Amino acid sequence: MKAQVQDDYMDWPVPAGPICEMNYSPDQTCFQLWSPKARSVEVRLYDQGEGGDVARMSCGHIHHIFLDKNEDGTFGGVINGDLKGCFYTFVVKDENGNLLNETPGIFAKAVGVNGKRAQILDLSTTNPKGWESDVKPVLVHPQDAVIYEMHHRDFSIDASSGMLHKGKYLALTEHGTTNGQGEKTGIDHLVELGVTHVHLLPSYDYGSVDEARLDSPQYNWGYDPVNYNVPEGSYSTNPYDPAVRIREFKEMVMALHKAGIRVVMDVVYNHVFDLKNSNFEKTAPGYFFRWNNDGTPANGSGCGNETASERPMMRKFMIESVLYWVREYHIDGFRFDLMGIHDIETMTAIRRAVNSVDPSIIIYGEGWAASTPGYDANKLAMKANVHFIKGIAAFGDEMRDGLRGAWYDDKKGGFLVGIPGHEESVKFGLVGASDCGGVDLTKVNYSREFWTGEPCQMISYVSCHDDLCLADRINVTLMARRGKKKSAEAHEAECVRLQKLAYAAVFASRGIPFIWCGDEIMRDRKGVRNCYNSPDSINAIPWRLKSEHKDVYEYVKQLITLRRHLRWHEGGEYHFLPVKGSNVIAMFSSGVVIILNSNRRTITQEIPYGVWQIVSWSDRPPMPVSAGALPTFKGSSLKVPAQSALILVERS
Ligand code: CA
């Protein structure tokens, strides 16, 4: 029954050309909508993005037409005259004769407030000055990427951000901002830190923030897509004028590029917020989703539905959507939400399509689903299958949870708080989930096999927007482990040591390092676990922390610099050194030794006999690498202080 239903969908005709629902010229506008089973498709014109009456058009044009059915499953038609600035929707009458609600289509490129209606717009007029000469910063190899995940509001909304356009795209165009104590914030902070990529939480048009009442603060991560191919309106200075969000998004990309930073989009093709009222369902009912035998939607997303990337039109939609962001907005990377819901063939096709434009674009995703998807597990882009998909990476949860503790219990600690038994999970992440020897797979938390084809197919991280952020998790797990709090000062000092140790592991990995915004200045979120819609008081980064935790910031910055110079994440000789006892990991990679000690005592670690230079102690302020200031020692063992990381370089 299930197979039969899905086979029927597979037989729907799919047009050969690109999806183009509206094509404007000053003489006429062509409309087209794909809806193979529809009885009729109507286009309605409006003079504004919401409200108004279709019958009282002020611009003097025909206010609605019915489109003609074509053999390829589309309906098409033309309206003569210059319709620039008009808004439009499609109305589909389904195969049962039901009139579906209005939709701007599945591929609207400009929309009015809250994305209800699309606008007839000449996109070339939205380009900011200098857009034609926008140049992407160089990225030679994906393994050189250092990713910084951020939410627009977290990043700029706090009073201490010093930014003018708080919570907006334009905040990322502001230079010269400080936290009031003279420390750089905003884009200058990112440049100073040394990240190569900014990864934006959902910035396509989503539904959970009401763009019509932006005078009252609203917060959401935005994992509830409405229009996949339009920037979100609440991050623009005027969500009513469709050109404004487009232009300001481009200004943001251009400013980041000028600052040497690439831009990654978080894309959520795997589900929609409200299936029934989604543009997919209002266009071609049934087709874009997977269904259970009983007719209910499959729910691999945990959000009530999942899309069907294996169906030709959904696959085509995803490929063209990604390419559209690359070409129109100069996007440099994509993070696929719940990538494990998508099929391998589609992800491979996306990689291939992107390569034809720019192979340096990075693609990674969550190699899992929220629950079992309604499709053959062997064909899904799950973590275990990532080695089949060259050029696409997945998040490494083995090291993440090995370090901080299992995701399903906030109080469970891991390596960081000194609980023995997590060393192999951390080592699994250090090698980038790929076989370098020396990892006992029987002791790794979530995987019994290495799952990457090469280390840069793993995103190395300890914290992201999900769950407790790192500072909160360290705080909670330390308290749970110790039973009672030490003095506030001693507790704080211990949290600082572990924050640094965590990021030492992230950057020691051969995978691609990834930072959650604010971890580098030790922000917390007041212990709130799932703060997807929590107020700014929870989510905003208080930039004063950059002054208060200057040592953490300088340490993370130093890790980025050292990795770039010493390149321990590249090929070359790689192995783990023997250690005594638990809670210690020592790795040797291309002439660099990195030792992680989460014990609450100093340990002595054996290293290969030679002359060594210590380039970084996590428990001391970073030293200038120049001027021969670095201490050198000769020998085969050294002391590693409690809860700290050490980085040494072999002198030839
Ligand atoms: Ca929106």
pLDDT digits (tens, 9 = 90+) for 435-460: 988 999 999 999 999 999 999 999 99
Q: What's the whole-number mean pLDDT along residues 526-546? A: 97
CA torsion angle for 605, 609, 613, 619 (degrees, to 10)?
Answer: 0
Name the active-site residue from 149, 248, 306, 366.
366
> What letter does residue 261 receive in the DSSP assignment?
-
Please give the distance, rounded to the nearest whole angstrom, from the Cα atom of residue 155 to the centre of ligand 1. 19
Rg for the chain, CA atoms, rounded: 26
Sheet holding 118-119, edge to edge: 64-66, 40-46, 87-93, 118-119
337 catalytic? Reply is yes
- Could you tell me the distance, in angstroms and rounded to a whole number, from the CA of residue 211 to the centre of ligand 1? 6
Q: Is the pTM of this model over 0.95?
A: yes
pLDDT tier at 486, thresholds 50, 70, 90 = confident
In the three-class reduction of DSSP (H, G, I as helix; E, B as strand; rest coil), residue 332 is classed as: coil
Per-residue pLDDT, averaged over 577-595, amounts to: 96
206 CA → ligand 1 middle, Å: 4
211, 337, 472, 494: the catalytic one is 337
pLDDT of residue 176: 98
C-alpha 210 – ligand 1 centre gap (Å): 7
Nearest one of 301, 341, 335 to 465, comparing CA atoms? 335
Residue 21 annotated as catalytic: no
Tokens, residue 568:
């321990």
Distance 373 CA to ligand 1 centre (A): 27
Ligand 1 centroid–CA 111 distance in Å is: 9
Q: CA angle, corner 477, sides to 476 and 480, nearest 5?
A: 90
Tell me the pLDDT tens digit for each residue of 161-212.
999 999 999 999 999 999 999 999 999 999 999 999 999 999 999 999 999 9
Percent of the chain topping pLDDT 90: 92
Tell me how far the alpha carbon of residue 618 lies from the centroid of ligand 1, in angstroms. 43
Gap from CA of 478 to ligand 1 centroid (Å): 40
Distance CA 609, CA 243 (A): 64
- Rounded distance from Cα 311 to ligand 1 centre (Å): 27
Mean pLDDT estimate for the chain: 95
**In 330-396, where does DSSP find H-type helix?**
344-357
Q: Label residue 601 by pLDDT band (50, 70, 90).
A: very high
DSSP H helices, 358-421, are: 397-404
Three-class DSSP category at 554: helix
112 C-alpha to center of ligand 1: Å? 9
Q: Which tens digit of pLDDT belongs to each residue from 47-92?
A: 999 987 665 556 666 689 999 999 999 999 999 999 999 999 999 9
Q: How far apart are CA 9 and CA 3, in angstroms?
A: 10
Looking at residue 253, its pLDDT comes to: 98
Exposed / middle / buried, residue 529 (Cβ in 10 Å: 0-12, 13-18, 19+): middle
**Residue 94's pLDDT band (boundaries 50, 70, 90)?**
very high
- Distance (Å) from CA 278 to ligand 1 centroid: 13
**What are 22-36's pLDDT values in tens digits?**
999 999 999 999 999
- Residue 548 in tokens: 């208060």
Task: Compute the distance from residue 173 Cα to the ligand 1 centre, in Å.
Answer: 21
**Cβ neighbour number for residue 295 with a 10 Å cutoff:** 10
Taking the CB of residue 263, how many other CB atoms lie within 10 A of it?
24
Tokens coding 581: 């006892």
Does pLDDT of 624 surpass 70? no
- How many degrees, rounded to 5, is the angle at CA 333 between CA 328 and CA 336? 110
Least confident range from 217-221, 239-243, 396-400, 619-623: namely 619-623
List phi, psi (to 5°) of 133. Answer: -105, 15
